[in-house]
Amino acid sequence: MNWYLQNGKESDVIFSSRVRLSRNIKGIPFTPKCSEKDFKKVYDIMKDASLSLGYGLKFIPLKDIDDLTKNTLAEKHLISPEFAKTKNPYTAIIINDDENICIEINEEDHIKIQVFSSGLDIENLMNLAIEIDQKLENIVPYSYNNQYGYLTACPTNVGTGLKASVLVHLGGLALTGNIPKVINVINNFGMSVRGAYGEGTKVEGDLYQISNNQTLGVTEGEIIKNLKLISQKIISQERLARKFLTKNSVELEDRVYRDFGILSNARKLTSDETKELLSTVKLGTDLGIIKELNDTKVRELLLYTKPYNLQKRQNKNLNLYEQEIERPKVIKEIINS
């Protein structure tokens, strides 16, 4: 089973974890200044290097992946939505069957090593990312400066080149109206709070992405330690909010089962409406109110009701209206499975 369909540590609140390392190849211009010849050089170097990495990784040119599948990868957070749309013929991913490792080639930087897990698992992910990075650095010379560290196309990634993030579900804090207070605390810790798909994306279904701001002047260990600390504070605050909500159990159960009733009986559902309903339904499942679902089924619902993964599951291209008709069918299949 792929990582995004598995239960994880603290996964009632922390939906998933990701660690990303941005790297560039020494002697080749950064991607904004790359010529077609430069892009091809990076592509060829990484194609050869991928054979020595292990982990069941495969080098797949992006041009060999159909548009629907590329968009399903973006919905799973494995590649960026912008990368899914690129027309550059020298882009690729290096990925394994479990999809917990995905290296983007010629995106914002020459190399973007990404590792993923469900729940709160950033320390183990950091160890895995460093292991892959060291193997790669033995084969490929990196662009590195003794004073500044690893050099990247975007100045905000210079230094460690590390971005660690957690995707959190704050359904309890949303219902109690305490989200602004928590966001303020996160910002004071030098972290960024964004929508599920990162910078410039809106918050949907009470899912927030929290990641480090600073990459220069701090170690990888310090970044991970700070993110883990803030994650534990968020878990504590979200569970307090849920405990408060359960004091008025009739009101909470009514809200949860009303939304579950719509989700499981509707004949037509938009993507946005489904996300909002699933936020309450996930909360109800985590609190043991909804007995018909478990963590795995909630994860399946969250994934396969997204526009492109819905079409991939149904094995057909659907316009928006057709998606709204098919979505409830998929929901019923998953609930009854």
Q: What percent of the chain clears pLDDT 70, i.e. is strictly above it?
A: 98
Q: What is the mean pLDDT of residues 131-141?
A: 95
Percent of the chain topping pLDDT 90: 82
**Average pLDDT in the 307-319 region?**
96
Instruction: Give the mean model confidence (pLDDT) for residues 250-275.
Output: 96
| pLDDT for 195 | 74
Phi first, then psi: what are they for 308, rounded to 5°?
-80, -40
**Angle of helix 307-314 versus helix 67-75 axis, rounded to 10:** 130
User: Got the DSSP string for 243-255?
Assistant: HHHHTTHHHHHHH
Q: Are strands 58-61 and 162-169 parallel, antiparallel or unpaired?
A: unpaired
Residue 216 pLDDT level (bands cut at 50, 70, 90): confident
Angle between helices 295-304 and 271-286 (to 10 degrees): 170
**In sequence order, what are the residues at sequence separation of 6 or more whose Cβ sits closer than 8 angstroms to the Cβ of residue 239?**
13, 172
Q: Identify the pLDDT of residue 198.
A: 57
Instruction: Identify the band that residue 103 occupies on the pLDDT scale cut at 50, 70 and 90.
Output: very high
pLDDT at 201 over 60: no
CB 114 within 8 A of CB 4: no
Residue 184 is predicted with a pLDDT of: 85
Burial 229-257 (b: 16+ CB within 10 A, else e): ebbeebbebbbebbeebeeeeeebeebbb
- Helices 307-314 & 320-336 angle (0-180, nearest 10): 70
CA distance 198 to 64: 26
Task: Determine the straight-line distance between the first and last CA of the chain, rounded to whole angstroms.
Answer: 16
Whole-number Å distance between alpha carbons of 330 and 305: 7
157-161, 253-257, 267-271: segment of lowest average pLDDT: 157-161
pLDDT at 191: 86
Which of 213, 217, 283 is CA-nearest to residue 246? 283
How far does Cα 268 stand from its chain's mean position? 27
- pLDDT band per the 50, 70, 90 thresholds, residue 194: confident
Position 214 pLDDT exceeds 90: no
Q: Is the pLDDT of residue 196 over 80?
A: no
Please, which contacts does 323-326 make with residues 24 or more away whose CB atoms are closer than 8 Å?
Answer: 323/271, 324/268, 324/269, 324/270, 325/267, 325/268
Supply the mean pLDDT for the chain. Answer: 93
The domains found in the chain, sorted by start residue, are: 3-240 (3.30.590.10), 249-336 (no CATH)
Residue 63: the pLDDT is 96
